[in-house]
Structure 1
Amino acid sequence: MASSRLGSVQGMPIKLDNVGIAVRDLDAAIDFFTDLGLTVLGRDTISGEWADTAVGLDGNHVNIAMLQTPDGTGRLELFEYIHPDALETEPTRPNEIGMHRVAFSVDNLEVALEVAAAHGCYPLRGVASYGDVYKLTYVRGPSGIIVMLAQELRKG
């Protein structure tokens, strides 16, 4: 893998803050993710020149919600566009280039799948085992989001 002089500046701390996902129905997406165990940290409506500049869209106006995993290390920012109009696309497939899934480690995959099913969300194909390490599946979540659910089989 090629290295870049700018890409690895010694001493520059970096951490993943959140993953942003545009959704068709903010409340439905919040319900899905909170039922899986995430907590809503806050909700807001964002607009103005600063938002236009940051996002690169004129008239950027969205309703957002920030959610956090129970361990406090992972956050999702869900946003529903008011303006410009949200663009519907075909649901992402696992082999498409670009961001296509968000992954969660769960204590009990069967319970997580029951929660997903209550929201009309089901595995793309089924549940698989990655050796004796994980039991996992990809679920088509709200707004077509692919959500990986994985249960660690070996603890300790």
Structure 2
Amino acid sequence: MAIRMDNVGIAVHDLEATIAFFTDLGLALLGRDTVSGEWTDTAVGLDGNHARIAVLQTPDGHGRVELFEYIHPEAIETAPTLPNEIGMHRIAFAVDDIDESLAIAARHGCFPLRGVANYQDVYKLTYLRGPSGILVMLAQELQKP
């Protein structure tokens, strides 16, 4: 049986701000739509499901993020996920220049949780809170093979 990762889906409270954040980091907006109806109620398992969506893709063409902003039912705000909580944890990106990526994130009001770590001189990495409290990991490889 063949299987491949298609995308990571994230519910957000401000679709436009989240698109701006991810496109500024370098993802490309592939498309947008508004979805509703029986097919989406069935697929998602939520009656009256009605959402604005956007799909973004990494420059290498392998990673996709699907964002949802719910129109109905009303989105439920929750506390942002902590790094040690069970469940969907974070979205991670390999970046060429972590300092440049952090400058872009800062323009969106998004900053590292604690700072930038150096993992055995192999990676510089950090976690930050993106739009809607999304936990985002940025990692820059220091040693190229």
Tell me the TM-score normalised to structure 1 length: 0.92
1:102 and 2:91 correspond: yes
CA drift at 1:130: 1.0
**SS class of match (1:155):** coil
Moved over 3 A (4+): none
Q: What is the root-mean-square deviation of aligned Cα atoms in Å?
A: 0.4
Structure 2 distance, partners of 1:40, 1:52, is 25
Structure 1 distance, partners of 2:119, 2:10, is 27
CA drift at 1:132: 1.6
Conservation of the 8 A alpha-carbon contact between 1:100 and 1:145: no
Structure 1 distance, partners of 2:120, 2:75, is 41
Tell me the TM-score normalised to structure 2 length: 0.99
Q: Which letter maps to 2:53?
A: I
Q: What's 2:15 paired with?
A: 26
Structure 1 distance, partners of 2:44, 2:103, is 36
> Which consecutive residues of structure 1, in runs of 5 or more, have no partner in the other structure?
1-11
- 1:10-62 CA-to-partner distances (Å, cap 9, x unmatched) read xx000000000000100000000000000000000000000000000000000
Q: Which letter maps to 1:92?
A: T
1:133 and 2:112 correspond: no
Structure 1 distance, partners of 2:108, 2:89, is 20
> Which consecutive residues of structure 2, in runs of 5 or more, have no partner in the other structure?
none
**SS class of match (2:55):** strand
1:43 and 2:26 correspond: no
Q: Identity, % of aligned pairs? A: 74
Structure 1 distance, partners of 2:137, 2:30, is 22
